[in-house]
Structure 1
Amino acid sequence: MQYEGVLNKMQAEWNTPIEYYLVFKNNFININQILDRKLKIEFTGYECLNCGQPKKIFRQGFCYDCFMSSPAVGDWIMRPELSTAHLGIEDRNLTYERKVQLQPHIVYLAVTSDVKVGVTRKTQVPTRWIDQGASKAIEIVEVPNRYLAGITEVALKNSFTDKTNWRKMLQNEILDVNLQELRDSLKSKLPTDVQPYFAQTDSSIFNLEYPVLQFPSKIKSLNLDKTPFFEGTIKGVKGQYLLFEDGTVFNVRTYEGYVVKIGVF
């Protein structure tokens, strides 16, 4: 089977294990159904996810011009504490920023390798945790906007990392920790404006299972710019990574906006 199209992050469906789909304009691949089969990936060009032009990708699937101008990649995306829509202050496009920032957000703990703190829109639960390759997660607070979530994350960064050790995550080296106890210990560390939301937030633990037949012992990352053609036997998916039998891992999200041909044999 042959496929061709522009890479976007894999879509995921909550299941046991999680179902993954690589979606193109006219077709898609259910990754779970092709485990243990040979996969060929050939990089053939670029297509900016914003303007659709065949321009070299700069970051996050956008060409340089779009990355510097689009409200979808403003600084407040990576740093929620910089959100200003609740004040009526525009960064790049206030209409867009109000739509995204002024909605319920979740501050959470996730076990990816170690315990990390993070922020996501409520509508992105559990997708955000799946994308990070979390083995389990728990909500700390649900707040009404991105700014409150951002200042909460900043307040907790002294206690937890906000990064994922992707190598440990892919090798399934997961810290054994009691998330419920950790979550219960955090109320006094929350910003004063956020503390009232703590008791109102559901503290159920989410457990996530990934379709992996074999975790890599040694990891080598596939770089399409340096290796435009790759062939290997796919052994699993975790986070946004395809895992191959020889220890090669491919971060699909890193190569959003890349045009590829994919063969499944």
Structure 2
Amino acid sequence: MIYTGVLTKMQTEFKEPVSYYLVFEDDFLNVNQLIGKNIEIKFEKFQCLNCGSDAPIFRQGFCKSCFFEIPQAADWIMHPELSKAHLDIEDRDLTYEKQVQLQPHIVYLANSSNVKVGVTRKSQVPTRWIDQGAHEAIEIVEVPNRYLAGITEVALKDHVADKTNWRSMLKNDLKDEDLVVWRDKLKPYIPQEALPYFLENHKETNIHFPVLSYPEKPNSLNLLKSQNYSGKLVGIKGQYLLFEDNTVFNVRSNEGLVVSIAVQ
């Protein structure tokens, strides 16, 4: 069986364990069902997620032209503290920016390789945690817009990490942490504007991933360089496919690539 389509991040369902799906234009693939099987991934061409052109992907699934023009790739996406829609100030498209920025956002702690702070729209909980490969997470602040979430994250970065060590996450080098203790310890550093939105009664969410075995030395697959790869799928964690030979493939970082996937 061969499936062909443009890669976008895997869709997930919060189950025990998490269920993963690759969604193409005319088909979808339940990736969990491929665990234990040999699959071949082959690069076919590029397809920008915005304009659909076959120009090389620059970042985030977009060609270079789109990346520097569309609101979905503006700086406030990666840096929420730069959000300005609450001030009625446009960056690239005020209508889009209001739609995304002026809705409830969560500042959270997640533990994948270490405890880190992050920001996501409330509607993306727990999807965001799953995508990061976190085995436990907790909400600490729920604010009405992206700007307040951003300045809270910036303030907390001085006291807790804001990055994940992807190799440790994939090797499953885990240390269970009491995130309630972390939350309470960080409360004094939350900006005054966001402090009224502190969540003091939330409990940890635990996440389990469909993995038969973890790589001892993860080796990231560069599909553009190799053009194709074949191996036995042994697990899925975060947005990574894990293979028996220690190869790992980050689906999200390869968005915009048209691939064919053959189940052998």
Could you say which TM-score interval applies, normalised by the shorter chain?
A: over 0.9
Partners of 2:135 and 2:158 in 1: how far apart?
22
Correspondence list, 1:17-32, <5 A: 17-32=17-32
The percentage of aligned residue pairs carrying the same residue is 61
Partners of 2:159 and 2:177 in 1: how far apart?
14
Query: Match of 1:208?
Result: 207
Deviation of the 1:144 alpha carbon: 0.3
Partners of 1:175 and 1:193 in 2: how far apart?
33
Amino acid at match of 1:125: V
Amino acid at match of 1:239: G
| Higher alpha-carbon deviation: 179-188 or 121-130 | 179-188
Partners of 2:196 and 2:17 in 1: how far apart?
35
Deviation of the 1:187 alpha carbon: 1.7
Query: Match of 2:218?
Result: 219
Give the 3-state SS of the residue equivalent to 1:186 in structure 2: helix
Q: What is the CA deviation profile of residues 29-77 of structure 1, one whole-angstrom value per residue up to 9, with x for unaligned ones?
A: 1111111000100001000000011111000000000000000010000
Query: Is contact 2:90–2:97 with CA below 8 Å preserved after alignment?
Result: yes
Partners of 2:47 and 2:26 in 1: how far apart?
16
Deviation of the 1:202 alpha carbon: 4.8
Count of aligned pairs between the two proteins? 264
Query: Match of 1:111?
Result: 111
Deviation of the 1:176 alpha carbon: 2.4
Deviation of the 1:186 alpha carbon: 1.9
User: RMSD across aligned C-alpha pairs, in angstroms?
Assistant: 0.8
Amino acid at match of 1:218: K
Amino acid at match of 2:263: V
Q: What is the CA deviation profile of residues 6-44 of structure 1, one whole-angstrom value per residue up to 9, with x for unaligned ones?
A: 000000001000000011111111111111000100001
Amino acid at match of 1:30: N
Q: What is the CA deviation profile of residues 82-137 of structure 1, one whole-angstrom value per residue up to 9, with x for unaligned ones?
A: 00000000000000000000000000000010000000000000000000000000
Query: Match of 2:194?
Result: 194
Query: Is contact 1:212–1:238 with CA below 8 Å preserved after alignment?
Result: yes
Alignment TM-score, normalising by the size of structure 2: 0.99
Partners of 2:176 and 2:159 in 1: how far apart?
17
Alignment TM-score, normalising by the size of structure 1: 0.98
Partners of 1:202 and 1:166 in 2: how far apart?
30
Give the 3-state SS of the residue equivalent to 1:45 in structure 2: strand
- Unmatched 5+ stretches in structure 1: none
Amino acid at match of 2:34: I
Deviation of the 1:204 alpha carbon: 1.6
Partners of 1:165 and 1:18 in 2: how far apart?
21
Query: Is contact 2:159–2:186 with CA below 8 Å preserved after alignment?
Result: no
Partners of 1:252 and 1:90 in 2: how far apart?
32
Partners of 1:142 and 1:5 in 2: how far apart?
37
Partners of 1:91 and 1:175 in 2: how far apart?
41
Partners of 2:55 and 2:102 in 1: how far apart?
32
Amino acid at match of 1:233: K
1:48 matched to 2:52: no
